[in-house]
């Protein structure tokens, strides 16, 4: 799979493939959008180390790749949010049957009501966390101005982290499978930590005197 993705890094189609994967993985969390972003960034690292005198490869631009992944993340969040907003009784029943969705909906509502949506940012790194938070915000009819700024921050943080892992991993460890594997391990490690954080029970507020 890595070789197939790397073959795309010589083409501008890599941006479209990354954007489509990032948008869709809010609905299908098993899609390897993180793998695509990291591998594309590793390809950029390969281009930056081209030996003098050789013809440089058409490698992805890091800023464009980061902006593309971040924007696609927000678009996917918004689509899931709007679909859940309009979901109706059928979606409400599905959420009511899911302990994870119900818990995330309650915690997200409390966080946004207090003016802090750090949960949205943390959930972006957790497996399926983005889906749970986006659907929960829409189903709870949270206002867009409460949710979308945090979604944008989450998208930028995730895209910047993923691109940074791929690029610096390629710089330090070389543009081999080892550099990509270490970068992916760091991405999955961040996801595991994020999953633990969002599963922690919300602190119980002290009763008013």
pLDDT in tens, 22-62: 999 888 876 678 888 888 888 777 665 554 444 445 667 88
**Can you read off the two tokens belonging to residue 62?**
């890091």
Which of the two residues, 67 and 193, has the higher pLDDT score? 67
Which of the two residues, 206 and 151, has the higher pLDDT score? 151
Max distance between CA atoms of the chain, in angstroms, equals: 75
pLDDT at 204: 44
Sign of CA dihedral 66, 67, 73, 74: positive
**Can you read off the two tokens belonging to residue 67?**
């902006």
Over residues 130-163, the pLDDT tens digits come to: 888 888 888 778 888 888 999 999 999 999 999 9
Over residues 105-119, the pLDDT tens digits come to: 566 656 565 556 788
**Total count of domains within the chain:** 1
Tell me which residue range forms the domain holding 179: 2-199
Task: Indicate the Cα dihedral angle 72, 77, 80, 83, nearest 10°.
Answer: -100
Asked if residues 108 and 121 have their Cβ atoms less than 8 Å apart, the reply is no
Backbone φ and ψ of 144, nearest 5°: -60, -35
Q: Is 204 inside a domain boundary?
A: no
Q: Is 22 inside a domain boundary?
A: yes
3-state secondary structure of 137: helix
Separation of CA 115 from chain center: 22
Q: Is 209 inside a domain boundary?
A: no
Q: How many other CB atoms are there within 10 angstroms of residue 88's CB atom?
A: 9
């Amino acid at each position: 799979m890595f070789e197939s993705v790397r073959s795309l890094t010589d083409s501008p189609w890599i941006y479209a493939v990354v954007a489509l994967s990032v948008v869709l993985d809010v609905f299908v969390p098993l899609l390897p959008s993180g793998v695509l972003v990291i591998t594309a960034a590793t390809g950029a690292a390969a281009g930056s180390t081209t030996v003098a005198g050789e013809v440089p490869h058409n490698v992805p631009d890091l800023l464009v790749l980061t902006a593309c992944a971040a924007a696609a993340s927000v678009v996917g969040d918004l689509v899931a949010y709007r679909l859940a907003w309009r979901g109706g009784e059928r979606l409400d029943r599905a959420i009511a049957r899911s302990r994870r969705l119900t818990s995330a909906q309650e915690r997200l509502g409390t966080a946004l009501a207090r003016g802090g949506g750090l949960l949205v940012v943390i959930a972006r790194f957790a497996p399926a966390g983005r889906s749970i938070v986006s659907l929960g915000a829409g189903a709870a009819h949270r206002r867009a101005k409460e949710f979308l700024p945090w979604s944008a921050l989450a998208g930028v943080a995730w895209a910047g982290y993923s691109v940074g892992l791929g690029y610096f991993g390629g710089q330090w460890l070389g543009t081999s499978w080892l550099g990509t594997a270490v970068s992916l391990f760091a991405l999955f490690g961040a996801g595991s930590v994020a999953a633990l954080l969002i599963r922690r029970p919300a602190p119980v507020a002290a009763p008013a005197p």
